[in-house]
């Protein structure tokens, strides 16, 4: 299967701990996105990469959040000193670069984070 893969599917952690999530995009896609979704809400933009360059980061994102995409392949999202408010589904998506724009996003199944 060549879809977007996210690991782990579920993560339970205690407040104050650090967590890291991984996303493997579709191989030929050069854009990679991270979104956060809470129950009953739409996905909230966190950040995105074009190849290895992080092009934009949400102003709502605190400095406890950091994302990397070394060599423009997989990406990791790290949350330091987790808080209960960080509990959410973290979604990764990738897209190709289409001439003229209008690329749709291909989403992974997400990582559900629960902070106790």
Partner 1 sequence: ELKVEQNPLFLSMQEGKNYTIYCNYSTTSDRLYWYRQDPGKSLESLFVLLSNGAVKQEGRLMASLDTKARLSTLHITAAVHDLSATYFCAGDTGTYKYIFGTGTRLKVLA
CB of 83 to partner 1, least distance (A): 23
Q: Which is nearer to partner 1, 7 or 80 (CB)?
A: 7
Q: Which is nearer to partner 1, 20 or 105 (CB)?
A: 105
CB of 104 to partner 1, least distance (A): 4
CA atoms in the 13 A half-sphere facing the CB of 49: 26
Handedness of CA 33, 69, 114, 83 (dihedral sign): negative
Q: Which is nearer to partner 1, 14 or 59 (CB)?
A: 59
Handedness of CA 105, 6, 65, 84 (dihedral sign): positive
CB of 110 to partner 1, least distance (A): 6
């Amino acid at each position: 299967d060549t879809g977007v893969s996210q690991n782990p599917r579920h993560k339970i952690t205690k407040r104050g701990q650090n967590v890291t999530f991984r996303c493997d995009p579709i191989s030929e896609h050069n854009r990679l996105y991270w979104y956060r979704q809470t129950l009953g809400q739409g996905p909230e933009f966190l950040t995105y990469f074009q190849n290895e360059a992080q092009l934009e980061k949400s102003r709502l994102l605190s400095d406890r959040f950091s994302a990397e995409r070394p060599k423009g392949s997989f990406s990791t999202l790290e949350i330091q000193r987790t808080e209960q408010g960080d509990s959410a589904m973290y979604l990764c998506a990738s897209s190709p670069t289409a001439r003229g724009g209008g690329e749709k996003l291909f989403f992974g199944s997400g990582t559900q984070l629960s902070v106790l």
